[in-house]
Every structure is written in C-alpha cells, then in structure tokens.
Structure 1
Amino acid sequence: MNLFLSRRMLLAGAAVLTAGVLSGQANAQQPSWPSKPVRIIVPYPAGGVGDLGTRAFATRLSARIGQPVMVENMPGGTQIIGMQALIKAPPDGHTLILASPTSLVLNPALRVSLPYAPEKLTVISKLFNSPLFVIASNKLQANTISELVAYAKANPEAVHYASTGEGSATHLASALFAQMAGVQMKHVPYKGSADANVDLMNGQIQLHFDPGAGTLALVRDGRLKAIAVSGLQRSRSLPNVPTVIEAGLPGYDVHSWWALAAPEGTPPAVAEQIAAAVKQIVADPSLAEQGLKLAIDYGATTPTESAAFVESERRRWGQVIQTLGLKRQ
C-alpha cells in the first residue's frame, strides 16, 4: 500500500511538474510588447491633422508603455510610400502606421495593382476622425453652398478644387459633392494640405475639402473662409458653420477617419495589447481637449471591430466609386 501510494504521489508530482514546464513554455512563447521603441509611420507631410493628431497620441503612448514612440513622416504616392515601409518591418507591433480610407479602402478600389495587400494588414484600432470642412478662397464669389453651386453651374470647371492626391479620400469627397450638386469642377491634386492652402489663399484654386487644423487656423485668421462642414452635425471647432446638408445638399454625409495598423502576421495578443493601450489613452480628457483644437475626435475600437468597420467602408465607398463612374487604373 505504501509503495502504491508512493507511486501515485510520484505520478501526481510528475504531472504537476510537467504542467509547470508547459505553462512556462507557453508564457515564454507569449509575445512581449513593447520590448523596444515603437515607430508610427505617418504617410503625410509634417504639420497636417494626421501628423499632429498622431503626435499628441504618441506622447501619451510613450508615457504609458515606458518606451520611446517615434513618429516618422513618409508622404507621397497616396500613402503607398508609407505602406511599403510598413510591410518591410517585422510583425511584432513595434512598427505601426496611421492608416486611412485612402490606404485601406480607396487604393485597392481604384488601382489595378498595389505593392501592399490592404486586406492582409492588421487593423488594430481606430484612432480619431474628423469632418471635412468646405474651405474656399476669399477670391471665390460664393459664401454659402447654394452660392457655390450657382457659381459652379454658371461657370463650368471654373472652380478648381484641391485634394491630397488622385484617388484620395478628399478627392472622392469633392467629386461626390460635385456629382450630387450637379456641377463640374476641376481636380488639382497636392501632396498635402499646406501646399494646397498656399494656392488657395493666392486664388490659384478655389476650393478645398479638408479636415486640417492648419486650415482652420487660416479660416480664423480670415485668410480663407469656411462655407460648410460635412457630416450630420456641426463641428465643435466651427459651431457657426452649417453642415452641407443644412446648407441645401441632402444626403451628403462624409467624414475622414484614421486608424492604427500593423504588418500582416502581427500576433493577435500584441494587437489586443496595443488596442487596450489606445482605449486607455483616448479616455484622457486632456487629449480630447487637444483634439478639439485640431478639429478631431479621438476614439478606440478592438481589432475585431476595426476589421468590421474597414470592411463596411469598403462596401460604402465601392458604391460611391461605382456611382461616380471611376475606373481602376
């Protein structure tokens, strides 16, 4: 009996030891994040709303995780240059990108081939969103949406509008407006809002659908004028400016959004860790206050919610592209 008990105790002890070893191996296999500095690629020039909104977040992320968080600007190519840098990085959560409708939704819908696969990226969390402000040159003889539409109808293609690139979100938002209003306007692509605003102030172009805080500063200084704002509600940043819908174009509901994404193959556990950090950071009232100055609203989603949202945006903008008659190039 004593021998039997000893064997049973020995077997039980071995089982406990084995479980402990397996548990230790499992813990050792769990990805560690962060284990080094984090880099966030911003595929825009410095000084724009995407750049400034990311930097405000990155400062707080660094404080929370105890690692440096570097923001690296890589503008150009309708965000393709930044995406190419992202997919070359190890999928360990230490290189992220500020993704947008342009990089995740519109590029694959409008381009025959891309050097990256948007559907394979890990979309971690939405980060912030903003309406588009309908900004006009002071030299444009229109101060309201109805006056703009009347002027554009009387002067086909006399209104030149800026965007952040062929096939970008601001391009499609402007084209959708023209289609819904029944007017013809001429598209002029730029690398970023800053360059577009210089020409807008000089009167070389007349219109710009833009979410940028820098643009709003020019409006407040009187160097540009805001005719309307997209979306269903007025912006807290310019509460006296009506929505496009209020101003007489029913159904025009467009806004910009930005999300954090990581390379294909990023471990789900790491994505969840980053998303949890985003959720905690965007709850900071001081960040919300900073967002108000930039005309953006911070928010967070889980990786599952983020993937579902991007898929819904692909369906939505796919219908818009079809309505506009745009072809893949």
Structure 2
Amino acid sequence: MIQRRTLAAVLPLFAAAALLPGLALAQAPPWPTKQSIRIISPYAPGGTTDVLARLLAQPLQQKLGQTVIVENKGGAGGNVGTDYVAKAAPDGYTLLLAASGPIVISPSLYAKIPYDSIKDFTFVAPIANASFVVLANPASGITSIKDLIARAKKGEKINFASAGSGTPQHIIGEMFNQAAGIKMQHIPYKGSGPAMNDLLAGQVPISFENPVPAMPHVKAGKVKVLASTGAVRSAAFPDIPTVAELGLPGFDAKPWYGLMAPAGLDPAIAKKLNDAVREALSSTEMKARLFTLGAEPMAMTTPEFQAFAEKDRDKWTKVVKTSGATPD
C-alpha cells in the first residue's frame, strides 16, 4: 500500500517534469521583439568605433526588422564601455562595437581590468581591420618619417596624440618609439574624435590613427600622412608607404573591430547576428564605404572570431612588454 501511494504521489511530478522542456520552448521569447537593439561604442563620438557602429546600424536594422541605435560610452581607453557590455544581460539587445584595444591590449597593459576579455563575451562577428596611419599637422614642419625620427633624436620635444591609454593608437606610438630609438611623449585623449581635433588645431604635432576618422582630413589637406603601419601597403591607399619601407623593417600593426555581446548569448541569436553582419559587409555599397575609409571587411564564424581574438591577444601581449608601454 505504501509503495502504491508513493508511486501515485511521484508520477505527477514525473509528468510535470516531462512537460518542462516543451513549456520552456514555448515560453522562450522571440528575438528581436519591439525592444531596440543598442550598439555600444566604447569611445567618444567621431572616432572609428562610432563611425563603424553607425555604418553597421542601418543594414542591421533593415535585416533584423528592429530599431538599432548607437550609444557612446567612452572612458579609460575603451574599457568603460567594454565593461558595460560585459555586465549587461546576454539577451541580444546590448551589443559592443569592439575595438581590439580593450580586448587584446588592455589585459597586458593594466594591472587589473574589470572584465575578462575572452570569457566575459560572445564573439559575434568581426567587422573590419585597418592599417593605421602616422599623421602630422602641416604647421609642425615634420615632413617625413625620417624627419620625425631625426628631430626626436636631436632632442626636440615631440608629443603624439592617441585615443586613450591602452588603445592601439597608444601602443603603436610606443612601438614606433621603441623601433626608432626615440621617446615621443604620449598624450591620451578620450577617443579618436578629440585627439583628431587637437591634431587639426596644432595642439599636438603627431598622431597614430585609424584611417577611418583621418582620411577625410587628409583629403582636405588639413593633415599630412607620413606612413601606414601595416606590414604591406593598404589596398585602399597604395600610394602611402609603410613605416617598414621607410627605415623600420619588421614594423607591423593592423588593429581590428568587431561586434560582440555579453557571455551567454543564445547561440541562435549569435548566428543570426553573424549572418546579418556578414551579409551587410558583403554588399558592394558597404565594401566601397569601408574601402574609402581605409578599412577592409572581415568574415568569420563566431568560433573562428574568438579563436582569432585569443591568438591576437597573445601577439599584443608580447608587443606591450617589448614596447615598455604603461598606462598614463
């Protein structure tokens, strides 16, 4: 009798448990719904991540059928906005237009950062990479890489602007110092926009910058390009020689940008976003716009993107240690 009563009491529990997977599936909210999707740019307006986020927002909005907005959350060389996304809900409504700096440079540059640059994120899709450019304000009188190095070696005090401590702009500048055997003074800003404004105004003579915010000013004759930082000349700007060509062999720096989300994002949502990004980047119009800005589109699956980032973090860890760069 006791066994029968026990069985009678337990059977309903098994029946309810059997229904749970179907119930959970039925209750899983569709994505996206009427809620807006936010892309967080971890730098000030006008910089590379801001420009790329706004370029991507429109095609994503069309492909996903949902409003996509861009929010700027700058600070600490991109770490503030990056950390904001790391701690957001992994529901597909808060995304990061990631720059490689906070992901592959900050972990080795800072003694401590508030997020794990690999474990705290879902690597949704890469967007583009770009050889950076060495820029000079025409009023500085600096006419070439050779001239820049010669002036610094003679003891002339030369400052260089960056988008902030720990950004690729900062580390590439320190790489240049180390390779050339000079010591220009790093001046960090809160994003590429403010750094570019001061370069244009002549407050700083030199900047290491992504071509995305730089090239419109170059074409207008407001700043001079001295070199590009990749191992080979950029396909977008084949007339610009590399730093390696101009006397520093082996110099190679080509940062990247991508779309990321908090860790734990539903793989189905990640794939849907990855597909949408890849489709957007494959369009002739988007390729042309990126090419004009000096950026080259990238295409990877989400696992490939994470593996790429892990490998790149190892590379930049060595660069940071070799350059002797420190947070300012």
| TM-score bucket of the superposed structures, by smaller chain | 0.7 to 0.9
User: 2:160 maps to what in 1?
Assistant: 161
User: 1:17 maps to what in 2?
Assistant: none
- Please give the TM-score of this superposition, normalised by the length of structure 2: 0.87
User: 1:5 maps to what in 2?
Assistant: none
Aligned length: 309
The 5 Å alignment of 1:115-134 reads 115-120=114-119, 121-134=121-134
User: 1:291 maps to what in 2?
Assistant: 290
Q: Calculate the aligned-residue CA RMSD, in Å.
A: 2.3
Q: Which runs of 5+ in 1 are unaligned?
A: 1-20
Contact kept, 8 Å, 2:163 with 2:188, in 1: the verdict is yes
Structure 1 position 153, deviation (Å): 1.1
Letter in 2 for 1:273: K
**Aligned equivalents of 2:31, 2:169: Cα separation in 1:** 35
Structure 1 position 115, deviation (Å): 2.2
Paired residue secondary structure (2:130): strand
User: 1:93 maps to what in 2?
Assistant: 92
User: 2:255 maps to what in 1?
Assistant: 256
**Aligned equivalents of 2:271, 2:98: Cα separation in 1:** 17
**Aligned equivalents of 1:124, 1:197: Cα separation in 2:** 30
**Aligned equivalents of 1:254, 1:233: Cα separation in 2:** 10
- Greater mean deviation of Cα atoms: 62-71 or 213-222: 213-222
Structure 1 residues 232, 23: CA separation in 2 closer, same or farther (over 3 Å shift)? same
Structure 1 position 328, deviation (Å): 7.8
Letter in 2 for 1:140: S
**Aligned equivalents of 2:294, 2:326: Cα separation in 1:** 33
Show CA shifts across 1:95-130 (max 9, x none): 100112221122221222222222221111111111
- Please give the TM-score of this superposition, normalised by the length of structure 1: 0.87
Structure 1 position 201, deviation (Å): 3.0
Paired residue secondary structure (1:262): strand
**Aligned equivalents of 1:326, 1:201: Cα separation in 2:** 26
The 5 Å alignment of 1:1-329 reads 27-28=25-26, 32-35=30-33, 36-120=35-119, 121-156=121-156, 158-326=157-325
Aligned-residue identity in percent: 36
User: 2:13 maps to what in 1?
Assistant: none
- Greater mean deviation of Cα atoms: 27-36 or 196-205: 27-36
Structure 1 position 189, deviation (Å): 0.5
**Aligned equivalents of 1:214, 1:113: Cα separation in 2:** 30
Letter in 2 for 1:241: I
Structure 1 position 30, deviation (Å): 6.3
Paired residue secondary structure (2:265): coil
Contact kept, 8 Å, 1:125 with 1:301, in 2: the verdict is yes
Structure 1 position 265, deviation (Å): 1.5
**Aligned equivalents of 2:301, 2:248: Cα separation in 1:** 34
Contact kept, 8 Å, 2:77 with 2:191, in 1: the verdict is no
